[in-house]
Amino acid sequence: MAGKEYLVAGAWRRSEEELAVRCPYDGDVVGSTWNAAAADVEEAVATAHEFFRAGEGVPPYERVDVLHKLSRLLEENAEDLARTLALEAGKNIKEARGEVGRCAFTCEVAAAEVSRLDGEVVPLDLHPAGRGRFGIVRRFVRGPVLAITPFNFPLNLVAHKLAPAIACGAPIVIKPASATPLSALGLAALALEAGAPARQISVLPMPGSRAEGLVADERFAVLTFTGSQEVGWGLKGKAGRKQVCLELGGNAAAIVHSDADPAYAVKRVVAGGFGLAGQSCISVQRVYVHQPIYDDFAAALVDAVQALRVGHPLDEEADLGSLIDEDAAARVEGWLEEAKAAGARVLCGGKRDGTRLEPAVVEGCPAEQSLSCREAFAPVVLLERYDDFAAAVAAADDSRYGLQAGVFTRDLGRVRYAYENMKVGAVVAGDVPTFRVDHMPYGGAKESGIGREGPRYAIEEYTEPRMLIVSEFGL
């Protein structure tokens, strides 16, 4: 099978270290590329630095054109891209098609943000010392961007790094997840076809250990990382003076009060907890259900989950695929066993077959168990009952993570209470925490990260304000 070469400042290369890409569901080889050679990595970083120092960016109207063309190319190649990312990530083909559509939208939003890269005039004569003076503030690119992306959204989360870079003119070096490099390479190829400057973009597959050297490289001005909490905070410690944006893990909670529509809440918890086989930072992991409706809610949830079908990524009838690798599945299987030994009750699912894990619903899991207090990143939802809404909010917020939370209630007072008392990046009223559209500010609090994504907010991370002070006396 012909391999897909990696990208070094617009040039396609290969090395002596071939990287086979396997479908997590069955282990079949679905493609290949190469880990970037050390000389190519250095060339990519040096070129990004030169691109920035020489001011090789293109004018805003050309950036808009590139992003619009990229969005159209994504739509034209949607089925091929969906098949690639489904096979390499092990996700359901229907979910993969949705990700391609989101990716095209992300590029369109980034194009719109180019027109908002404006500044402001500051009236300095608000103070007597500023008489006869005014200030102009514009945003300028900080410098080259190092982007490290995860396996679970191997196309759209790369777009969330790449599209803002194109929009503001920043050179970018992307290190995709080793399990899922093909989608990133495909997106970069389309960006070049759309007219992005060749020297602006590099995509370099490599082991994570090698990427750590890039994090410390002072030629990068920005580090943007999406991935695990353990890795992300470690990289921040090595980043030096860089601007750092971290979108890390979660342990998302939803609260279902008795005044909500329980059937709707069950439907949304199934979608939010078991879509992508639970491999989303905002996947529903903990659900707190009001005592009066708990028994009926739990029974309905178990019925809905037992109807889900695990299948091959290209199976149109399957609801979810596998976990990314056997280690991930075995880890969660171990957590389930530990939770059961501590008194938790598995209401359905939980059996493992290689990388595949039956969707599971668990109740009564002690809060100190890994299955409850850590990020499962798997198709497992925990149920707990509550009597007092404030206590449920406190329990949902009692986590080192703080990405998003969901609250099902028709009472705006309760919504406001949750919003004001949960330290998270977003509270979603009337839905699960798994809700995201790609132009919103997305990110977390506590150990879930720093900074925000979404094209507008990523551009703010990639740029910094610079002021021009104009004095009429010296002109």
Cα–Cα distance for residue pair 377/370, rounded to 1 Å: 12
Q: Which residue has the tokens 């982007």?
A: 147
Spatial CB neighbours of 321, under 8 Å, sequence gap ≥ 6? 24, 25, 86, 90, 91, 92, 277, 310, 311, 312, 313, 356
What are the backbone angles phi and psi of residue 438, rounded to the nearest 5°?
-80, -5
Q: CA Rg, the chain, in Å? A: 24
- Rounded to whole angstroms, how far apart are CA atoms 78 and 397? 39
- C-beta of residue 238 within 8 angstroms of C-beta of residue 159: no
Of 113, 247, 447, 461, the catalytic one is: 247
User: Is 363 among the catalytic positions?
Assistant: no
Of 176, 150, 161, nearest in space to 453 by CA: 161
Helix (H, G, I), strand (E, B) or coil at 149: coil
Q: Is the dihedral of CA 150, 152, 158, 161 positive or negative?
A: negative
Strand partners, 352: 357
**281 is annotated as an active-site residue:** yes
From 23, 168, 245, 281, active-site residue: 281
Q: Which residues are catalytic?
A: 247, 281
